[in-house]
Structure 1
Amino acid sequence: MSQQIEACVDEALRTGTLSGLPDQVYIDGRWRDSDSGKKMETLDPGTEKPFARFAAGNAADVDAAVVSSERAFKEVWRKVDPAQRANLLRRAATLVRANEGRLAVAETLDSGKPLAESRIDVDAIARFLDYYGGAADKLQGETIPLGRDFVSYNVLEPVGVTAHILPWNFPMFAMVRGAAPALAAGCTVIVKPAETTPVTALMLMDIFTEAGFPAGVCNVVTGTGQAVGEPLCAHKKVRHVTFTGSVATGSRVMQNAARHITSVTLELGGKSPAVVLADCDLDHAVEDMLEAIYFNAGQVCSAGSRLVIERRIHDEFVEKFAARASALTIGHGLKNPVIGAINSRQQLEKIARIVDDARARGVNVVAGGRCTVDPDSGAGWFFQPTMLDDVRPDDRVVQEEIFGPVLSVQIVDGIEEALSVANGTDYGLAACIYTKDIKKALGLARDIDAGQVTVNQYYAGGIYTPFGGNKLSGFGREKGLEALRNYCRTKNVTVRI
């Protein structure tokens, strides 16, 4: 680790927090108290103790942010040369890397994830800023051949003010994943972080300001979904909403946005299958699936939460996987275990309730299955890495998103049944196929109903590949060049010569 990260970790372990964390809303280029004047607490999931306070925003703060963003869009940002937008995004990427220690430690304190995973997120947001900085001056229109008597062309224009409603599992990653392409396209941004993980979104505002972004181009309003999220989604001056979260909340977001015919991008989670065929590299599949389901303690929308495996390798795979899962280290994220904390008591109780109900129904729990604590402190919200074997297709643990470190195993006989089982839920976010047969891989990739399919590596693709879901997993795509479409509208101009 760098000296900066070591110093931040040492401070956080000694004091339970970091000094100088922002505790106000950020509107029109400055920090200010919320309209209510009230504060909320955010807790460290690894200790169950508060480590920071933040502003409890409301609809008045939303209005102020929208006024600021609309003014910045009309008067400043859409007039800035694309090359200059690119420079600002790249400058922000440099500053993110320079502040890796504080950002990573704050993210671990806020979310509960291991420090190594927070550092991965810091690297990812820097690369997002670089990537979309590279795209900002390459958003080109096209001409349409109507014949020699006409000139017809399309122009890509920014949609205007955009709202970004963030999830609690990847706070800064989800913020920059949406904000970077929006800013590259010439839109202004209003961010509403989750109330359990508000800190790093606020910290990034100092970085954006230092990078030189004009006042109002990016605003952050913290608070609850009801007090901030709903009025933001329903505001008539917001022209696009990007939301990541639950199906139920996503439905409400879409209803609120529909009042003013506001476009939306919805990433609503999944119940993603990993199809393990008998001809795969079994040891590789075991190791890769450990990451697929236990990364961020399973609190990943696209986590490989269903193992669809051919019967003839089932016993060997389960034996190896269960042994590896039971040996994974658990603890406070700053001590860099493999498995960090669950983000909130509410989420921990949900996971435990679902697993307990499955056990009561007779589902075979071959690894984990219980709440636990940080072995050093005896505190925190933790759940053992869990494996549920030979689960029926209609069982709750197969059909519902658990959002925790719980893998459900479904046994199949052959590739046709594997396809049917893989498509056997209302979700369609991601999938992975483990096989040495490229024909089988491509055939399954073609027929699996998911927005993203990988082969022989679950989290392949990174920031460059489009990501989003089908069915209840939502619609629209983030990451890659495809994400820029969310924040552009097409204007056609046709001239008769």
Structure 2
Amino acid sequence: MYVKHCTSCIEFSILFFSFRVVMANAEDAQTTIYEAHENFKSGVWSKAPATERAEVLTNLAVSLSIQMEEFAYLESMQTGRPIREMKAQLGRLPQWLEYFSAAIRTHQGFVAPTQGELLNYVQRVPLGVVAQVTPFNHPLLIAIKKIAPALAAGNSVIVKPSEAAPLSVLQFAEMSLAAGLPPGVLSVLPGRGKTIVPELASHPLVRKVDITAGTRTGRLVGKLAGANLAEYTAELGGKAPIVVFKDADLPSAVAGAAFACFIASGQTCVSGTRLIIQDEIYDEFMEQFLKKVESITARMGNPLNEKTMMGTVISHHQLERIERLVQRPYIGNILAGGRRLTGTSPLDGHDFSKGSFFPPTVISDVQLEDELWREEVFGPVVVVKRFTDESEGVELANACKYGLGAGIWTSDLSRAHRVAAEIEAGLVWVNTHHRNDPSSPWGGMKQSGIGRENGLEALDAYSQSKSTVINIASPQETRTEIDWFAEDDTEEKRYG
């Protein structure tokens, strides 16, 4: 459900599409938290058998599969990403719901080997009301990555989607009711982050906050959640290095690097933004890579065109930020791109003024102290450096405060394992990039966040252990052992 009693609205205009969305305020957030808490206490979902919760998640997966075309269209319209990308990405989303459905069907408590005449069983129980803050770049993907384990564990969930791309999350929440999710278990609060997020993160009834955002925002929200001793998961900024060794299969490395750098117009936290190439293959690699960049640029156009390879960035504000960073003096040598697209698309005649189009941009000779090397751009911009040996390649890869994703391209199996172990990142891909699975932990090191999405680790993060200890001794043994303050007792007593 979403908060229907909100009175103010926000209007969006993307491509040929305009829409209005209700905008929640602080009072709406407070009301939603209270209602979610009452829902949790009722036990309608929190105490439902795991098999019932699993069945609803399975129903949601089926419903999502049936409506996939509609959701892909909606995602493309609100983000400006190509329909081809969104169909491929959303096509896998039912797997997250199916995975956590299966997980709770088979997830078991255990009996602890506690000493003495005691039976000690341990269960996982839900946390309560949990708040999730999702971004604009993968609106439905990231929402479902968070929603699936939270619902599976039995929590009441409040989602605050990005104000730039809330539509698919709202539609998913409505669809969940038809799939059998009780009303009030999943709520969506569209609105301004600076208004809604502090209300959610600081409320004592919210027992977990899960956010995907920039590092600065993550710190601020973490401070609010920590004041209430609430659980906290944060997937934050990234500046992924792509290290290409001289023994890499060159065509694969070029294609893989292009995907890493420019999928989603570079608007992912694991985008390959620092391309680190070994000296011996630098010239040949760059020649092929720049040809690939030229090909991608020539096929930028209407995101709803199945042949479009790259769409827009999320907003004119983001477009201006990217251009401002790239157009600073003395940043390096711009080998490709660097300026927003104007006029019409050579692919389909799309008017580039309808959207925020920035081409794949490649810059060499950037200093390690420069913002383009150190900070997240969140656009199709990659900086390129050479390296001589393995040690220097690893050093360059780690020369950054972020540690979310990284890529290695090599044909040497020993090197692959060796370098992967040395790179400071929560996700390391070898001879591929941006591979994701509901079973595979996803999260960062250093300033890229805390905690993990996906897998049983995520399911456990949305629950807590509860230990129940039962005395199974006979009444006579109990009377003897439990009376610590007996007046005439000479027997040794157990303490603890």
The residue aligned with 1:330 is: 300
The residue aligned with 1:19 is: none
Distance between the aligned counterparts of 2:303 and 2:134, measured in 1?
Answer: 21
* Contact kept? 2:443, 2:452, Cα under 8 Å: yes
Match of 1:74 among 25, 34, 41: 41
Distance between the aligned counterparts of 1:462 and 1:158, measured in 2?
Answer: 24
Match of 1:175 among 124, 143, 149: 143
Q: Structure 2-normalised TM-score?
A: 0.91
Local SS of the residue matching 1:172: helix
Distance between the aligned counterparts of 2:156 and 2:257, measured in 1?
Answer: 39
Distance between the aligned counterparts of 2:200 and 2:302, measured in 1?
Answer: 34
- Within 5 Å, give how 1:363-402 maps onto structure 2: 363-373=332-342, 375=345, 376-379=350-353, 380-402=355-377
Q: Is 2:447 the partner of 1:472?
A: yes
After TM superposition, give the deviation of residue 182 of structure 1 in Å. Answer: 0.4
The residue aligned with 1:33 is: 5
* Contact kept? 1:121, 1:172, Cα under 8 Å: no
Unaligned runs of 5+ in 2: 473-496
Q: Is 2:201 the partner of 1:222?
A: no
- Within 5 Å, give how 1:296-307 maps onto structure 2: 296-307=264-275
- Within 5 Å, give how 1:126-165 maps onto structure 2: 126-165=94-133
* Contact kept? 2:130, 2:158, Cα under 8 Å: yes
Deviations 1:422-451 (A, max 9, x none): 111000001111111111010111111110
Match of 1:344 among 306, 309, 315: 315
Distance between the aligned counterparts of 1:277 and 1:320, measured in 2?
Answer: 15
The residue aligned with 1:460 is: 435
After TM superposition, give the deviation of residue 362 of structure 1 in Å. Answer: 4.8
Q: Is 2:28 the partner of 1:61?
A: yes
Local SS of the residue matching 1:371: coil
Distance between the aligned counterparts of 2:197 and 2:12, measured in 1?
Answer: 18
Distance between the aligned counterparts of 2:234 and 2:158, measured in 1?
Answer: 16
Distance between the aligned counterparts of 2:449 and 2:112, measured in 1?
Answer: 32
The residue aligned with 2:246 is: 278
* Contact kept? 1:161, 1:187, Cα under 8 Å: yes
Q: Would the alpha carbon gap of residues 264 and 52 (structure 1) be closer, same or farther in structure 2, given more than 3 Å must change?
A: same
Distance between the aligned counterparts of 1:111 and 1:234, measured in 2?
Answer: 30
The residue aligned with 2:159 is: 191
Local SS of the residue matching 1:327: helix
* Contact kept? 2:242, 2:274, Cα under 8 Å: yes
The residue aligned with 1:43 is: 13
Distance between the aligned counterparts of 1:275 and 1:471, measured in 2?
Answer: 19
Distance between the aligned counterparts of 1:134 and 1:390, measured in 2?
Answer: 50
Deviations 1:227-263 (A, max 9, x none): 2121111111110011001111111111221231111
Deviations 1:297-319 (A, max 9, x none): 00001111111111111111111
Q: Is 2:466 the partner of 1:491?
A: yes
- Within 5 Å, give how 1:208-247 maps onto structure 2: 208-247=176-215
Q: Would the alpha carbon gap of residues 52 and 368 (structure 1) be closer, same or farther in structure 2, given more than 3 Å must change?
A: same
Match of 1:94 among 49, 62, 71: 62
After TM superposition, give the deviation of residue 351 of structure 1 in Å. Answer: 0.8
After TM superposition, give the deviation of residue 467 of structure 1 in Å. Answer: 0.4
Distance between the aligned counterparts of 2:435 and 2:76, measured in 1?
Answer: 24
The residue aligned with 2:479 is: none
After TM superposition, give the deviation of residue 149 of structure 1 in Å. Answer: 2.7
- Within 5 Å, give how 1:414-453 maps onto structure 2: 414-453=389-428
What stretches of structure 1 move > 4 A for 4+ residues in a row? none
The residue aligned with 2:90 is: 122
After TM superposition, give the deviation of residue 405 of structure 1 in Å. Answer: 0.5
Distance between the aligned counterparts of 1:393 and 1:253, measured in 2?
Answer: 29
* Contact kept? 1:41, 1:50, Cα under 8 Å: no
Distance between the aligned counterparts of 1:455 and 1:367, measured in 2?
Answer: 26
Distance between the aligned counterparts of 1:110 and 1:61, measured in 2?
Answer: 24
Distance between the aligned counterparts of 2:327 and 2:438, measured in 1?
Answer: 36
Local SS of the residue matching 2:263: helix
Which has the larger displacement, 442-451 or 453-462? 453-462
**Which one-letter code corresponds to 1:463 in the other structure?**
P
Q: Identity over the aligned pairs, expressed in percent?
A: 35
Deviations 1:145-167 (A, max 9, x none): 23353322321111111101010
* Contact kept? 1:124, 1:463, Cα under 8 Å: no
Distance between the aligned counterparts of 2:137 and 2:312, measured in 1?
Answer: 11
Deviations 1:308-343 (A, max 9, x none): 111111111111101110111112211131111000
* Contact kept? 2:276, 2:397, Cα under 8 Å: yes
| Matched residue count | 462
Q: Structure 1-normalised TM-score?
A: 0.90
After TM superposition, give the deviation of residue 281 of structure 1 in Å. Answer: 0.3
Distance between the aligned counterparts of 1:439 and 1:152, measured in 2?
Answer: 46
The residue aligned with 2:493 is: none
Distance between the aligned counterparts of 1:146 and 1:82, measured in 2?
Answer: 27
Distance between the aligned counterparts of 2:145 and 2:253, measured in 1?
Answer: 28
Distance between the aligned counterparts of 1:67 and 1:102, measured in 2?
Answer: 33
Local SS of the residue matching 1:156: strand
* Contact kept? 1:289, 1:304, Cα under 8 Å: yes
* Contact kept? 1:139, 1:185, Cα under 8 Å: no
Local SS of the residue matching 1:335: coil
Q: Would the alpha carbon gap of residues 465 and 33 (structure 1) be closer, same or farther in structure 2, given more than 3 Å must change?
A: same
After TM superposition, give the deviation of residue 66 of structure 1 in Å. Answer: 1.1
Unaligned runs of 5+ in 1: 1-24
The residue aligned with 2:53 is: 85
